[in-house]
Chain A
Amino acid sequence: MSILVIAEHDNASLKGATLNTVAAAQALGGDIDVLVAGAGCGDAAQAAAKAAGVARVLVADNAAYQHQLAENVALLIAEMGKNYTHILAPATTSGKNTLPRAAALLDVQAISDIVSVESADTFKRPIYAGNVIATVQSSDAVKVITVRGTAFDAVAAEGGSAAVENLDTATDAGISAFIGEELAKSDRPELTAAKVVISGGRGMQNGENFEMLYKVADKLGAAVGASRAAVDAGFVPNDMQVGQTGKIVAPELYIAVGISGAIQHLAGMKDSKVIVAINKDEEAPIFQVADYGLVADLFQAVPELDGKL
């Protein structure tokens, strides 16, 4: 078996989700190559070469890949993919954007968001917002897969010494252009990588009240998330959404504040090790999955929690 892992990176650094995806590749067994497609992405490539278990890092360093537009990168992946039995990418917005496009170019039915590797062609994946786990078997020659990071323990970021090879292909479809981006700047850890996550829901009432959560987060070294209700209400930006259609998290500790616990939210956090729920409604479904439930007014409980940490 030969496996191609598509690196998640921002040219300057390798994103943690790549290491979880390499772990899924290891579960398959076989030689693992990592593709770093970007522009001025040497540092990301060097980081990928240090990851445990990687045989080769293939670098496509070209202006066409600077912003990793799906139209251009999918052409590259499809061209390279013919030489592999498996192509894996993290199930991040980047992987979800690009990989299905590459799969269709290869005439392959992609397999989204796998949570376990059963064999070389059989995988488990959640459907219906995580209410059902399906075991699926692929009959395609190449398996094209996105990997749910929380389901695989990341390989070590250091210790590997993969060979780095430059590719001189440039596939520019010329049909799309990057205009700009607004990225949230935060000193807190990334939601999907944080050991502790504290999330607010509709019960927070407004964006200003999230300050209470930020204060607790800073004491715990936590990331701050939100339910869909809080994002839809405009309290906080979309990149904070935890749930079926937002980010999937599985930290050591998840604290849900003023979140009722719709199944779409639970789908994004129920694999957390320890779940705490603070809600004034004792009937809230969040308490059915919480290890520790506190029925209380969050406007009293959260400042008190802040004081006791």
Chain B
Amino acid sequence: MKILVAVKRVVDYNVKVRPKSDGSDVDIANAKMSINPFCEIAVEEAVRLKEKGVASEIIAVSLGSKQSQEQIRTAMALGADRGILVETDSELQPLAVAKCLKALVDKESPDLVILGKQSIDGDNNQTGQMLGALTGMPQGTFASELENADGKVKVTREIDGGLQTVELNLPAIVTTDLRLNEPRYASLPNIMKAKKKPLDTTTPEDLGVDVAPRLQTLKVEPPAERQAGIKVADVAELVEKLKSEAKVI
């Protein structure tokens, strides 16, 4: 089985992002960048499938600026075999990303495409589902368990009421939720080895994809601030305040 994994370069999850003072965009000029946590889980799942002998090759794909090579190298240090960067400095929205991935799927014919369910910058939660639509593949979104079974894949999904299991024909798309696995740390020898793995570069133009944004960001602003309230001395005071002041119980 051949697996394609998508990885995104995002502001590290520990960084608290703020809007620029003119409200034109977010201020991330010097922010630490990392692989999107959900994408890291996607890479780990692919590597586990390879270790189980289910997968034969893992291709890590990223889209974005030249620096996105770092996240592809991270994926290769975790166990991906080769990488493809779709290089562009344009703003990429999920539909454009899905179209580029569709072009790569047509070229590489993977049996499984694993993506994070959302990236922690745009919080869109769309790309996997869109890729499903464009390729005609079934989708197992928000996966907490993945099982390979006779030319099909069984996916347990985290849904609002609990868990749902679906069976998908291959090729299929899976998007990862938090509980799918705990990604390993890349070892130093593997980080060194990753530097020698092949990394091809292409562009949206080469893939024949128009990535022009359909959504224009008019402004960004901080959310309404909540003021810290008061500290109460004990449970009795808490109950009293909730009854007489806040009137919520």
Contact = CB atoms under 8 A, between A and B. Distances in A.
Contacts of A105: 133
B222 interface: yes
A79 interface: no
B248 interface: yes
A273 interface: yes
Given A132-B18, A176-B138, A184-B161, A127 B122 contact: yes
A67 B179 CA distance: 23
Contact of A132 (B142, B177, B220, B234): B220
Given A127-B121, A239-B162, A273-B248, A173 B138 contact: yes
A227 interface: no
B163 interface: yes
Contact of B139 (A71, A109, A134, A289): A71
Interface in B49-98: 93-96, 98
Interface string A121-153: 010001111111111111110000000000000
Interface in A45-100: 67, 69-71, 74, 78, 92-94, 96-100
By secondary structure, the A interface counts as mixed
Interface residues of B, number: 79
Given A109-B94, A134-B217, A304 B235 contact: yes
Sorted nearest first, the 9 A-B pairs with minimum C-beta distance are A291-B229, A109-B214, A104-B133, A104-B130, A100-B126, A100-B129, A176-B138, A253-B248, A179-B165
Given A99-B129, A122-B218, 20 more contacts: A71-B138, A74-B129, A96-B141, A97-B141, A97-B142, A100-B126, A100-B133, A104-B98, A104-B132, A109-B96, A109-B215, A127-B26, A131-B222, A138-B215, A181-B162, A231-B179, A244-B123, A253-B248, A275-B229, A305-B238
Interface of A: 67, 69-71, 74, 78, 92-94, 96-105, 107-113, 122, 126-140, 173, 175-184, 192, 196, 220, 228, 231-232, 237-239, 244-245, 247, 252-253, 263-264, 270, 273-276, 282, 287-296, 301, 304-305, 308-309
